[in-house]
């Protein structure tokens, strides 16, 4: 960042559950489709609350899901694609609130329809599609159709906001 002339930006590498920064040092926390990849999402939200200054805000974009079929957990690519690790919207919101964050709310949603699911699975998950088809004894097309039927309307992109209370 400094080499590019940005003196007010500092980059640090760490884990979501243990950020390498001081308590109450951040005015904002931004996260884009990362928290659902963490094994301990409650720890991530607790860490966000720790690093935010009183009055500090968060803006999170992530994937949530409800009533996913068991087969979604059968392939690592589905975890990496933010599907099998996704919480329900209610659980996601609850995790933020239980960490002590206030005014938490989901301010925007985009539910994945059949076309979006088909495109995601076809273009982003070809290895998982082929391997799951083999496990189920289905053709690639049959597995794609199964994925669309099983997942349509169950996956949602959200934006969540919140604030660390003052005092």
Residue 154 sits in a domain of what CATH number?
3.40.50.150
122 located within any domain: yes
Where would I find the H helices in the chain?
41-51, 76-80, 89-98, 114-119, 126-136, 140-151
9 located within any domain: no
Integer Cα distance of 82 and 42 in angstroms? 17
21 located within any domain: no
Q: Is the pLDDT of residue 151 over 90?
A: yes
8 located within any domain: no
pLDDT tier at 1, thresholds 50, 70, 90:
confident
103 located within any domain: yes
**pLDDT tens digits, one per residue of 25-73:** 999 999 999 999 999 999 999 999 999 999 999 999 999 999 999 999 9
**pLDDT tens digits, one per residue of 96-137:** 999 999 999 999 999 999 999 999 999 999 999 999 999 999
Full domain range(s) for residue 111: 26-163
Task: Indicate the SS3 state at residue 126.
Answer: helix
Q: Exposed, middle or buried by CB within 10 Å (0-12, 13-18, 19+), for 23?
A: exposed
Q: Is the pLDDT of residue 167 over 90?
A: no
* Token pair recorded at residue 162: 């919140």
Look-up: residue for tokens 């884990």?
15
20 located within any domain: no
Q: Exposed, middle or buried by CB within 10 Å (0-12, 13-18, 19+), for 58?
A: buried
Q: Exposed, middle or buried by CB within 10 Å (0-12, 13-18, 19+), for 14?
A: exposed
Q: Is the pLDDT of residue 9 over 90?
A: no
Q: Is the pTM of this model over 0.75?
A: yes
10 located within any domain: no
Integer Cα distance of 147 and 122 in angstroms? 10
89 located within any domain: yes
Number of domains forming the structure of the chain: 1
């Amino acid at each position: 960042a400094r080499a590019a002339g940005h003196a007010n930006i500092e980059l640090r590498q760490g884990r979501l559950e243990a950020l390498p920064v001081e308590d109450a040092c951040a005015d904002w926390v931004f996260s884009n489709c990362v928290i659902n990849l963490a094994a301990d999402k409650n720890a991530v939200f607790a860490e966000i609350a720790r690093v935010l200054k009183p009055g500090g805000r968060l803006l999170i974009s992530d994937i949530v899901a409800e009533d996913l079929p068991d087969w979604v957990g059968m392939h690592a690519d589905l975890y990496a694609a933010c599907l099998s690790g996704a919480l329900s919207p209610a659980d996601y919101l609850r995790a933020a609130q239980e960490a002590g964050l206030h005014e938490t709310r989901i301010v925007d949603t985009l539910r994945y329809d059949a076309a979006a699911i088909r495109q995601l699975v076809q273009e982003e998950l070809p290895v998982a599609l082929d391997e799951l088809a083999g496990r189920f004894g289905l053709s690639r097309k049959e597995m794609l159709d199964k994925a669309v039927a099983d997942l349509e309307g169950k996956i949602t992109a959200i934006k969540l906001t919140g604030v660390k209370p003052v005092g």
